[in-house]
A and B are shown apart, each in its own frame.
Chain A
Amino acid sequence: MNRTFVDIAGKRLALSNLEKDLYPSYGFTKARILEYYRRIAPFMLPHLKDRAVTFTRYPEGVEREPFFEKRCPSHRPAWVQTAEVVHGDTALTFCLINDRETLLWAGNLAALELHVPLARAGSPGTPDAMVFDLDPGEGAGLAEAGRVALILRDLLSGMGLMSFVKTSGKKGLHVLVPLNYQEATFDDTKTFSKAVAEIMQKHYPDLVTAKMAKNYRVARIFINWSQNDASKTMISVYSLRGRETPFVSFPLAWRELEELSEQGHLERLQVTAVEAVRRAEGTGDLFHEVLVKEQKLPHLY
């Protein structure tokens, strides 16, 4: 194996197979993946902080089956922080990605996709955001997801809630409503998001379904409200995706979504790793408010 040792901030990191092309049909080597995570780190780390991360690892590249890793690998360097998370009767040790070196270490494991829960490890029952996972069914795509996201934004805004949107890096969009208050519970976010999804389905039956059944999703956007659960994880903002092209789950300004929607160009929403760095360094973290904005869900009690 081809190893390179680097020392960053007093931490020694062994990097291997840097020339290996993990996106063979596009051409994106592990060296470039690490370069991506190195440069996106200042924007991404605040979102990963203290979250029990699940890795989707692609050691043989994106054209081969990945594997999921919840348990933090036992061969981890001593400086990787971890957290115990209890699922049912079993406690698992998860990795926490709290610094750039750990992010690069994960990249070196070909953990292209980093999935995180909506709550931090220290308070696993307290979601700090509510999410709407807009998942296009067969025959639908980003164009329809974009339309649904814009309606959703206006609907939530009418409820006094500010929301933020990112690409999933695959076919869909994620709309997040920051909460950031201690009393938030998954019961509340689930009740609220389900009611929203059902209203959307009722008023836009040709565009939206709130039901998981595959039939119902044909040519529609499935608003997956059930992601609002302590046991669920979602792709982290700024994470790479394991598909043909190194697309990233990337935040968008609502105005950009609106303009692309008006021009009928929503299918072009995907953001590649290279563009992601350029954009983030230009505009800063468009998802910063998701971390700090305090909002309470109204009309629940």
Chain B
Amino acid sequence: MAVQGIWNGTISFSLVAIPVRLVTAVEPGRVSFHLLHTRDYSRLSRKMFCPLEGTMVPPDEIIRGYELGPEHYVLMTDEELESVSPERSRTIEILEFIDLKEVDPIYFDHPYYLVPAKGGEKAYQLLVEVMSRTNKAGIAKFVLAEREYLVAVISREGALELVTLHYSDDILPHEDLSPGNDMSSREAETQMAATIWKMTGDFNPAKYSNERRVRIMDLVMQKAKERAPVEAPASADESEEGPADLVAALEESMRKVKEHR
């Protein structure tokens, strides 16, 4: 069966560059349905609804807001978000090789296969063999659909697998993932294997930050400082207040504080 590629490019490290295609490795077994109108069976579409005005909202009246506090948002336009998005890339550049057994499976997110593209078959096969023999995984950064992913390239059963990884910030409980590892003194037999050894490090997920997230948060903070966030009308679930007497006395005290400032 010819598999549909979702991305074409090269996988590279050091001086090696191998043309590959990225294909999806799992198909969710879920049965999907469409929502139809019972009267005429036409496909239904989703619309955004404003509960305050009770109307449908056209796309040009929709903007993203980052919630800073109850009913307080920093606005973010599509252009601004785009300005901090990573450039599309044509390469999966392996930054270093690590021992596969060092990677806690909790980091694995979504698996893909890398298949050789025309002209890359030989080098691909060599990489698969060397990585399998040395039991190494390559760590790379890779942009797919405007997102920058941290990925592991793994040799498995004669093919290369690409697994997107969670950034260490995304992992909830703190784990120490880099036990000191003694590199065995196994002789490197080929040029490729030698390069792999040279690029081998401990798996230290903390050193890769989700740069897009950092840039977006920087932008949010900068905007939050530059001007006051927009205020949304209070929603129904107003937080409960303290004892009425106390709140009234505090309001009175606050009024005086503000008078004197």
Contact = CB atoms under 8 A, between A and B. Distances in A.
Interface in B114-166: none
Contacts of B211: none
Contacts of A195: 241-243, 246-247, 250
A220 B66 CA distance: 14
Given A155-B253, A158-B253, A139 B225 contact: yes
Interface of A: 138-139, 151, 154-156, 158-159, 191-192, 194-196, 198-199, 201, 203, 205-206, 209, 211, 215-216, 218-220, 298-301
A262 to B, nearest CB: 13
Interface stretch (B17-25, B68-76, B180-188): B68-76
Interface in B209-261: 217, 220-221, 224-225, 228-229, 231, 239, 241-243, 245-254, 256-258, 260-261
**SS class, residues of chain B in contact with chain A:** helix
Contacts of B72: 205-206
B1 to A, nearest CB: 45
A159 B221 contact: no
B246 A154 contact: no
B67 interface: yes
Contacts, number: 86
Given A139-B225, A154-B260, A155-B250, A216 B242 contact: no
Given A139-B221, A216-B69, A300 B243 contact: yes
A299 B244 CA distance: 9
A155 B256 CA distance: 8
A299 B254 contact: no
A211 B228 CA distance: 18
B258 A211 contact: no
Contact of A199 (B225, B247, B260): B247
Interface of B: 66-70, 72, 217, 220-221, 224-225, 228-229, 231, 239, 241-243, 245-254, 256-258, 260-261
A218 B239 contact: no
A203 B241 contact: no
Given A139-B224, A155-B254, A199-B251, 15 more contacts: A139-B225, A155-B253, A155-B257, A158-B254, A159-B249, A199-B254, A205-B231, A215-B68, A216-B68, A218-B220, A219-B68, A219-B221, A219-B224, A300-B243, A300-B246
B246 A192 contact: yes
A282 to B, nearest CB: 31
B69 to A, nearest CB: 5
Q: What are the 6 closest A-B residue pairs judged by CB atoms, nearest first?
A: A195-B242, A158-B253, A139-B221, A299-B246, A154-B257, A299-B245
A299 B251 CA distance: 12
Contacts of B69: 201, 205, 209, 211, 216, 220
A216 B67 contact: yes
Contact of B67 (A138, A206, A215): A215
A219 B253 contact: no
B246 A198 contact: no
Name, among B224, B245, B251, B253, the residue most crowded by chain A CB atoms within 10 Å (CB to CB): B253
Given A154-B260, A205-B72, A211-B69, A138 B217 contact: yes
Contacts of A300: 243, 245-246
Contacts of A138: 217, 221
Contacts of A191: 242-243, 246
